[in-house]
Chains A and B, each alone.
Chain A
């Protein structure tokens, strides 16, 4: 097994069933896993912000920073590696907030909203999600089984 850490503003894909993806410190950011169980190809993204229009140059350098550039990049990479869109199992985690958080800072909520929009346009449903609340999360995807787990201060659960 090789553990591949997906950093902040990072996306990774693989067709090696030995690989396990993990991403840490999901606060208001969203971690998305996409997995094709038949082709056993999968990927993970950890994006920070919803829309790239606020900084197109940053999005060009690091598409995975934003939902609207990163999520399509994740899907396209998987499809080009042989995954089929209608088989993709997509799960999403994160979108948390601080105590007393002002609306303005509701990056987490906006991050999740835009994800649903992008996936809806692609005819993909979110199979499972664990979003919101006031805790950070760690997300894990095992490529041989497609098993997705979420860990927070409340413990670890399968999604």
Chain B
């Protein structure tokens, strides 16, 4: 059996993403959703509500008056912020797993996912691409395919490494050449199985090769560039190291310049502290002081 067929068979035994995450994503993308709808859905989950309030009251945000309800959190911090903390905690508690063959522990996998999500949002804001509701979730899940792929990558690692070192292949190209499947492809299958919107599936599928997407969206470019910057800045480097290509046309399409890129990096570092305060049972992701 091919690695791909084997993987597809195993997808059904992967932990599922909670229904709530999916519902929130669809709600955020629904132009007809009423204001306040997101907090109305969240309020029935008391653990989730507690996490959001904890995040809202973290010292990083610096409010002197405590935030005591979801509605108050929404007013002070915005729907998008509440959504991001909600989706992050749901994915965190269910999908925080190591990507073994890639040399990434569960914490490191999480740290990378969160960094790419925060970076993508920072870029989106700085570039005034305000209408994209999918970027955060897509970025959070972009490498999800590495979790089931890990075992196969571990077995094939010497061959993958050789192709990368000698053949000038990117790591994803090496996966495709040797395993006949890559982590972006598997990740997209997983997101589709969870019934996430196709816009999210596409971001995951093409996160290393935006130009291969049938329709190139700003969201795909954003996730790609955010991932590349996080790798460069050391926010989640595994055994696959820096062996990925940067798609120049993504930068041109986004009209991204050096200043904006560097601003996004500095904002991401600050935002990571605040957002990581949301995860009750988790040690804060440490990125310096």
A25 to chain B: closest residue by CB = B234
Q: CB distance B251 to A49 under 8 Å? A: no
Interface segment out of the listed B17-25, B44-52, B139-147, B253-261: B253-261
Spell out A's residues near B (CB within 8 Å): 7-10, 24-29, 46, 48-51, 54-55, 58-59, 61-62, 64-65, 96-102, 104-105, 107-108, 134-136, 153
CA distance A59 to B262 in the complex (A): 12
Interface size bracket, B side: 35 or more
Offer 29 A-B interface pairs, CB within 8 angstroms, sorted by A.
A7-B289, A8-B234, A8-B235, A10-B288, A26-B234, A28-B232, A29-B234, A48-B234, A48-B269, A49-B266, A51-B262, A54-B259, A55-B263, A55-B267, A62-B269, A98-B231, A98-B245, A99-B242, A99-B245, A100-B245, A101-B246, A102-B251, A104-B261, A107-B261, A108-B232, A134-B243, A135-B241, A136-B237, A136-B241
Q: CB distance B242 to A25 under 8 Å? A: no
CB contacts under 8 Å to A, within B242-287, are 242-248, 251, 256-259, 261-263, 265-267, 269-270, 286-287
Q: CB distance A105 to B288 under 8 Å? A: no
Which 9 interchain pairs have the tightest Cβ spacing?
A25-B234, A7-B288, A9-B288, A10-B288, A55-B266, A28-B232, A58-B266, A99-B245, A100-B245
CA distance A59 to B251 in the complex (A): 26
CA distance A32 to B244 in the complex (A): 26
Known: A58-B267, A96-B242, A100-B247. 7 other contacts (CB 8 A): A48-B269, A54-B263, A102-B251, A105-B228, A107-B261, A107-B262, A135-B241
Q: CB distance B265 to A27 under 8 Å? A: no
Q: Using A28-B233, A153-B241 as known contacts, say yes or no to A104 and B269 having CB atoms under 8 A apart.
A: no
Interface residue from A24, A58, A102, A136 paired with B269 (Cβ < 8 Å): A58
Q: CB distance A105 to B246 under 8 Å? A: yes
CA distance A8 to B121 in the complex (A): 20
Provide the residues of chain B in CB contact with A48, threshold 8 Å.
233-234, 265-266, 269
Q: CB distance A107 to B234 under 8 Å? A: no
A133 to chain B: closest residue by CB = B242
Provide the residues of chain A in CB contact with B246, threshold 8 Å.
98-102, 105
A29 to chain B: closest residue by CB = B234
Q: Using A61-B270, A134-B242, A134-B243 as known contacts, say yes or no to A8 and B256 having CB atoms under 8 A apart.
A: no
Which of B229, B236, B257, B288 has most A Cβ within 10 Å? B288
Provide the residues of chain A in CB contact with B243, threshold 8 Å.
99, 134
CA distance A49 to B269 in the complex (A): 12
CA distance A55 to B287 in the complex (A): 18
